């Protein structure tokens, strides 16, 4: 189950139930009706027509994992907002008000953002690499992997893990020779990514597997999840670990015979 996180606080209530509370308390008439529609919730846009449009043109995402949970998008005026900003608009206030209102009414737990990897004693000659045994402390499976269409074979091939302590999927990132460089993580409850502070800007997730498989072409993705999904469908892929490409990554790709 996905959860809304606001200012590192977990919002312990379903978005649909929250909308009922907003409708009851805001007294602005901006949230006159809403309903489940496809992968989201159909709502009146609070940003145009004084929030009183006759046909809902705004949607709040609740199911699409590739879009921020709770993200609001109006297909008429183009208004895009996080869920806290949407709530603030319903009250004729700003995003800060919406965030404070959500935290005051529904937040109990903190999300631990300062993830610290265990210290690994390594030989001086291998000081830039992690010991493979670091992966043994994690679990081998979480249902989120299946939700994202990752095959069992791909999960095992890339040694994808789950860390119950941080409630994150763990992705081992290797250099082009397959040596473990650092770990990245993605929360199973929201679109939150964590990257080891020792991350090397030139590393590309999945590149060692593409080279090992002697593939001549590959798909270039932003996130590891997307790259692994491509592998699960039979397409070799790499991930750049974020939006954009660094100069170091381009050099790394260009120093192979892989077309991308």
- Indicate whether 114 pLDDT > 70: no
- Indicate whether 122 pLDDT > 70: no
Tell me the C-alpha distance between 230 and 159, whole Å.
Answer: 16
**Residue 29 confidence (pLDDT):** 87
Domain count, the chain: 2
Residue with tokens 């907003």: 22
CATH number at residue 217: 3.90.980
Confidence category of residue 244, pLDDT binned at 50, 70, 90: low
- The verdict on residue 115 lying in a domain is no
Confidence category of residue 227, pLDDT binned at 50, 70, 90: very high
Q: Which of 86, 75, 115, 93 is nearest to 19 (CA)?
A: 86
- Indicate whether 201 pLDDT > 80: no
Residue span of the structural domain in which 52 resides: 4-110
Helix 83-90, helix 95-106: angle, nearest 10: 100
**Residue 127 confidence (pLDDT):** 53
**Residue 115 confidence (pLDDT):** 43
CATH number at residue 42: 3.90.580
The string of pLDDT tens digits covering residues 140-161 is 999 999 999 999 999 999 999 9
Please say whether the beta carbons of 148 and 63 come within 8 A: no
Q: How many CB atoms lie within 10 A of CB 158?
A: 21
pTM: 0.54
CA dihedral 96, 47, 105, 15 (to 10 degrees): -130
Structure tokens at 214: 């002697």
| Residue 94 and residue 46 share a domain | yes
Give the residue, 29 or 112, on which the prediction is more confident. Answer: 29
Give the residue, 246 or 250, on which the prediction is more confident. Answer: 250
Q: How many CB atoms lie within 10 A of CB 259?
A: 9
Find the helix or strand (DSSP H, E) in which 6 lies. strand 4-6
Tell me the C-alpha distance between 78 and 217, whole Å.
Answer: 37
**Residue 125 confidence (pLDDT):** 42
Tell me the C-alpha distance between 63 and 71, whole Å.
Answer: 11
Average pLDDT of the chain to the nearest whole number: 85
Structure tokens at 47: 């940003």
Mean pLDDT lowest among 123-132, 159-168, 173-182, 212-221: 123-132
- Indicate whether 23 pLDDT > 70: yes
**Residue 252 confidence (pLDDT):** 84
- The verdict on residue 27 lying in a domain is yes
Task: Work out the average pLDDT over 228-249.
Answer: 85
| Residue 147 and residue 88 share a domain | no
Strand 237-239 to 219-221 pairing:
parallel
| Residue 134 and residue 13 share a domain | no
């Amino acid at each position: 189950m996905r959860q809304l996180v606001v200012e590192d606080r977990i919002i312990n209530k379903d978005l649909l139930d929250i909308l009922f509370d907003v409708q009851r308390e805001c007294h602005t008439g901006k949230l006159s009706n809403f309903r489940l529609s496809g992968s989201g919730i159909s709502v009146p846009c609070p940003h145009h027509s004084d929030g009183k449009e006759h046909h809902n043109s705004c949607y709040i995402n609740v199911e699409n994992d590739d879009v921020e949970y709770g993200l609001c998008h109006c297909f008429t005026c183009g208004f895009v907002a996080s869920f806290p900003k949407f709530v603030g608009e319903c009250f004729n206030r700003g995003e800060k008000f919406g965030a404070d209102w959500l935290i005051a009414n529904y937040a109990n737990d903190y999300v631990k953002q300062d993830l610290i990897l265990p210290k690994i004693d390594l030989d001086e000659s291998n000081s830039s690499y992690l010991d493979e045994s670091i992966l043994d402390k994690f679990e081998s499976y979480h249902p989120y992997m299946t939700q994202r269409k990752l095959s069992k074979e791909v999960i095992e091939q890339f040694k994808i893990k789950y860390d119950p302590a941080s409630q994150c999927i763990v992705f081992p990132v290797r250099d082009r020779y397959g040596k473990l460089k650092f770990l990245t993580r993605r929360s199973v409850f929201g679109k939150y990514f964590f990257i080891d502070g020792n991350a090397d800007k030139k590393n590309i997730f999945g590149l060692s597997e593409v080279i090992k498989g002697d593939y001549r072409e590959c798909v270039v993705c932003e996130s590891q999840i997307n790259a692994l999904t491509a592998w699960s469908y039979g397409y070799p892929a790499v991930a750049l670990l974020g939006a954009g490409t660094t100069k170091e990554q381009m050099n790394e790709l260009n120093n192979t015979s892989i077309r991308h």
